[in-house]
Chain A
């Protein structure tokens, strides 16, 4: 089975802190994704990566950056956390490079609270 893990289930940070959310997948998938999920807004794509060191902006990239130095690991970085970034963050992966609409495999999520 595909396994996608995220570094924390719950995280509490203060405004202005730099925040790192880590995601690791163990199935040699080419694509990795970061979403945020908010009530009433559904899932929104923040960033997408289709290969090591390659990334594309999603629908809401402002305030976020990403890093993919190894195939299995995709990090989401909040350079200076703000309260409006309080949300559930979901990482996902899928097998074929560049094809975003295939089946995605999700991690358990990180619920981030910014105070």
Chain B
């Protein structure tokens, strides 16, 4: 079944640096979403990007989508300690099922 797979699995960067994580998927999608999960908590929706969009911004977050490569990236600029979390991409397909990837664990070092 199609599934978004995040890369890398884990990422550690210094506070203030930019963090980039990627998501690849297998079949055509209608939209792709990114979620954040702080340790031991529920997921929080960050951004939804539709298949006819190439880029979307929300505050310090920038998401790109390349449907020809079946990939998306999430960029967090000027990272903060509070950005430490796991980040998941979620993809859908023609059957309207949403499938979550296994996530990228981001750790912001002081």
Taking Cβ atoms with an 8 Å cutoff, the residues of A that contact B are: 4, 40-43, 45, 88, 90, 92, 98-109, 111
Contact among B42, B97, B101 for A100, CB-based, below 8 A = B97
Q: How far is the CB of B105 from chain A (nearest CB, A)?
A: 11
Which chain A positions have C-beta within 8 A of B100?
42-43
B: contact size bracket: 20 to 34
Taking Cβ atoms with an 8 Å cutoff, the residues of B that contact A are: 30-31, 33, 35, 40-45, 48, 88, 92, 96-98, 100-103
Q: How far is the CB of B86 from chain A (nearest CB, A)?
A: 10
Dominant secondary structure of chain B at its interface with chain A: strand
Dominant secondary structure of chain A at its interface with chain B: loop
- Establish whether residues B98 and A100, one from each chain, have CB atoms under 8 Å apart when the complex forms: yes
A-B contacts, 6 listed (Cβ < 8 Å): A41-B102, A43-B43, A98-B96, A101-B97, A103-B48, A108-B41
Q: How far is the CB of B23 from chain A (nearest CB, A)?
A: 13
